């Protein structure tokens, strides 16, 4: 069944490309050239995706997958006990991970841009903050990839393929559609 619409998939893979480019360009000997543009495009992609989170197709909407703390904690307990249900859209932990990733990319784009303005150029605290956010994003990405791998294994489905084709096997009787 169709789950991830074209904009969700396009913004996801473009975000992967831009964030990777922004990160790799900070490594020694690579060349800082594309850093600022890649980071700014990443920020713009997040803005487009968040707007789509209001108007997009069913599983693109934030209201479909953002759950309260109680439901999220309950889901986390079930994951621990290996009794969690399969979700057709993002599961509650995946939903919060998506929000954390978007917020961090947005904060990186704003802090990076501010650092290049006359008013903030050379501000040590802003430089520190920007670098800290860069490392935070890397940690979140590691958690994101672990979550995708774990969920794919638990429910014996290829979530990466679903993010490419947009399609998933339809829900069974015990799944959350």
User: Which residues here bind ligand HEM, judged by CB under 6 A?
Assistant: 8, 11-12, 15-16, 19-20, 22-23, 26, 35-36, 39-40, 42, 49, 90, 94, 98, 101-102, 105, 108-109, 112-113, 115-116, 127, 130-131, 134, 137, 141, 144-145, 148, 159-160, 163
Residue 84 or 101: which CB sits closer to ligand HEM? 101
Dihedral sign, Cα of residue 20, residue 26, residue 28, residue 31: positive
The tokens describing 48, both together, are 């487009």
Kindly tell me which of 75 and 90 has the beta carbon lying closer to ligand HEM. Answer: 90
Question: Of the candidates 4, 27, 3, 7, which has an alpha carbon nearest to the alpha carbon of residue 15?
Answer: 7
Nearest approach, Cβ of 79 to ligand HEM (angstroms)? Answer: 13
Q: Coil, strand, or helix at residue 34?
A: coil
- Is the CB of residue 8 less than 8 Å from the CB of residue 56? yes
Residue 70 CB, nearest approach to ligand HEM (Å) = 20
In the complex, the smallest distance separating the C-beta of residue 164 from ligand HEM, rounded to whole angstroms, is: 9
Do residues 116 and 108 make contact, with C-beta atoms less than 8 angstroms apart? no
């Amino acid at each position: 069944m169709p789950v991830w619409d074209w904009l969700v998939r396009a913004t996801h893979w473009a975000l992967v490309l831009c964030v990777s480019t922004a990160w790799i360009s900070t490594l020694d000997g690579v060349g800082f050239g594309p850093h600022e543009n890649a980071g700014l495009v990443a920020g713009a992609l997040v803005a487009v995706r968040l707007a789509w989170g209001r108007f997009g197709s069913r599983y693109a909407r934030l209201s479909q997958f953002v759950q309260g703390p109680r439901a999220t904690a309950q889901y986390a307990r079930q994951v621990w006990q290996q009794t969690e249900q399969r979700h057709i859209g993002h599961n509650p932990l995946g939903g919060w991970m998506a929000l954390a990733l978007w917020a961090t990319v947005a904060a990186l784009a704003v802090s990076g841009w501010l650092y290049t303005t006359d008013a903030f150029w050379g501000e040590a605290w802003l430089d520190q903050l920007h670098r800290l956010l860069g490392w935070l994003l890397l940690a979140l990405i590691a958690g994101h990839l672990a979550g995708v791998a774990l969920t794919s294994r638990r429910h014996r489905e290829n979530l990466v393929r679903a993010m490419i084709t947009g399609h998933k096997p339809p829900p069974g009787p015990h799944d959350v559609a």
